[in-house]
């Protein structure tokens, strides 16, 4: 393996290379990563700084973001409400049962407020909303899920398909959620081993130099297109 950091495309040099998992560790639930029937993609070298900078927190929160994306595809899981007098106050309420495994720190990360012991009167009072920051949950979870899945798909291209980490490419990601967890594209895109139960990336070349992939993580799908043909400058050493 070359000593080029696949995140910035520059030589790692004399410093100790950090190792970034091609498929985020959070996606793999089994204890033993190398197991029959599953694809183990290993690690790629990176600068330690690049590895830390490139969304270590996002990777940690990707599974939770996918869980939220799933919950948002189920109208039974949430409501959107607007304050009847102060129209600028809009809230989104989630049924905690739809978000199993969410810890207090996860809720804090997404700026959720636990209102399980708050009365309707308290929620009606505009004082309740003073000092609370507005969020854009859709944007936050999509940014996290798309960036983590696109990065992982790019890492697979570098690791498995002889793509130089020193080339430029453009990535187009289109999210789709609410599919059946058993949906499978083997028939369309060829037999592919999963990384984990319900986690799979089908990736195929098209138009000579470009790549098309479908990354599935339980009920969420992301279509990824890698455009290599655009004329972009090569990275300087």
Distance CA 161, CA 219 (A): 27
Q: Is 7 or 44 the residue whose CB approaches Zn ion more closely? A: 7
CB of 11 to Zn ion, least distance (A): 9
CB of 166 to Zn ion, least distance (A): 11
Residue window 39-78: x/- pattern of binding to Zn ion, with contact defined by CB under 5 A: --------x--x----------------------------
CB of 5 to Zn ion, least distance (A): 3
Contact flag: residue 154 with Zn ion (CB under 5 A)? no
Torsion sign, CA atoms 47, 53, 56, 62 = negative
Residue of 137, 113, 215 whose CA lies nearest to 174: 215
φ and ψ at residue 202, rounded to 5 degrees: -95, 125
Contact flag: residue 5 with Zn ion (CB under 5 A)? yes
Contact flag: residue 151 with Zn ion (CB under 5 A)? no
Contact flag: residue 8 with Zn ion (CB under 5 A)? yes
Contact flag: residue 203 with Zn ion (CB under 5 A)? no
Q: How many other CB atoms sit within 10 Å of the CB of residue 26?
A: 16
Whether residue 18 contacts residue 45, with contact meaning beta carbons closer than 8 Å, is answered with yes
Residue 155: alpha-carbon gap to chain centroid: 14
Residues that bind Zn ion (CB under 5 A): 5, 7-8, 47, 50
């Amino acid at each position: 393996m070359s000593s080029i950091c696949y995140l910035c495309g520059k030589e790692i040099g004399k410093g100790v290379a950090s190792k970034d998992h091609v498929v985020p560790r959070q996606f793999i639930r089994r204890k033993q990563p190398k197991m029959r029937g599953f694809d183990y993609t290993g690690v790629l070298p990176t600068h330690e700084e690049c590895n830390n900078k490139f969304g270590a927190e996002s990777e940690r929160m990707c599974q939770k973001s996918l869980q939220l994306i799933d919950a948002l595809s189920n109208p039974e899981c949430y409501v959107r409400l607007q304050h009847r007098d102060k129209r600028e106050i809009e809230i989104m309420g989630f049924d905690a049962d739809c978000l199993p495994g969410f810890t207090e720190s996860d809720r804090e990360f997404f700026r959720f407020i636990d209102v399980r012991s708050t009365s309707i009167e308290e929620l009606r009072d505009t004082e309740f909303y003073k000092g609370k920051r507005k969020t854009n949950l859709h944007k936050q979870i999509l940014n996290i899920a798309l960036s983590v899945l696109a990065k992982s798909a790019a890492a697979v291209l570098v690791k498995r398909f002889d793509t130089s980490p020193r080339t430029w490419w453009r990535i187009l990601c289109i999210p789709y959620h609410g599919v059946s967890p058993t949906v499978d594209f083997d028939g369309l895109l060829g037999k592919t081993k999963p990384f984990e139960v319900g986690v799979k990336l089908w990736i195929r070349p098209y138009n000579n130099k470009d790549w098309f992939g479908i990354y599935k993580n339980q009920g969420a799908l992301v279509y990824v297109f890698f455009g290599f043909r655009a004329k972009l400058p090569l990275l300087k050493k």
